[in-house]
Structure 1
């Protein structure tokens, strides 16, 4: 595996801490009032962490953007860098294929039209399109 030149995770595992942190704050609020439900707050924290884990896993699997020395990865789809002809001043025609297997660019991601060596245009996406373009041009 070649080195990673650009990496954008779909989500970070630190998001697992939000549910337990909420439960600790709820427990502390109850502690200030005098009545506590310790077991309930433990279950709330564990439950929120349990439903957050698959969400994080899915986002990391389908929304991760990575550029290595040989490939551009968009979600689970890879595109060899040798097939990329141009990344600047490329217009995205209507109906251009979106990398990563989705119907459209994921929400909160910006588009980067890429012209391939066969002349077709595909749409890559990232939160920081300028950094992605720079990584693709360097590679």
Structure 2
């Protein structure tokens, strides 16, 4: 049985895939209203190309920027961390050069960093768009484990 999800963020939604076809449809409408040749096939291809590019972008963001927390693990992007390795969430300083969880060099833009002390006394940086809520959930988990 899998653990219940305590905190979750999708990296992106799929609605940006619609931008390309909408812009292509607007271009087609403008072209239909003006004098000159009609290039319907070109606008269809432009809409499809933009939709494919946006789908690749959204898929990448969903894989690399997704955050999930259960009782047993914290998943940040491509990296999984067992929650029993986390020893402290509050009052942990973030040293210069601390490793960022998720496989990135820096904390992703638009997210807040959460320093975590691990059982081997290293400090790593977790991140989330709503870092306060994730920090609270992690603190509850660490508090629960210390009481056991």
What TM-score does the superposition give when structure 1 sets the normalisation length?
Answer: 0.89
**CA drift at 1:118:** 2.7
Q: Hey, what's the Cα distance between the residues in 1 that align with 2:133 and 2:6? A: 10
The one of 18, 37, 58 aligned to 2:60: 58
Higher-Rg member (1/2): 2
- 1:89 has 2:88 as partner: no
What TM-score does the superposition give when structure 2 sets the normalisation length?
Answer: 0.84
The one of 86, 105, 125 aligned to 2:127: 125
Alignment of 1:21-36 (within 5 A): 21-33=22-34, 35=36, 36=38
Q: 1:32 to 1:135 in 2, by over 3 A?
A: farther
Number of positions where the alignment pairs a residue of Structure 1 with one of Structure 2? 139
Name structure 2 gaps, 5 residues minimum. Answer: 142-148
RMSD over equivalenced CA pairs, Å: 1.6
- Confirm or deny: 8 A CA contact 2:99 2:124 kept in the other structure: yes
Name structure 1 gaps, 5 residues minimum. Answer: none
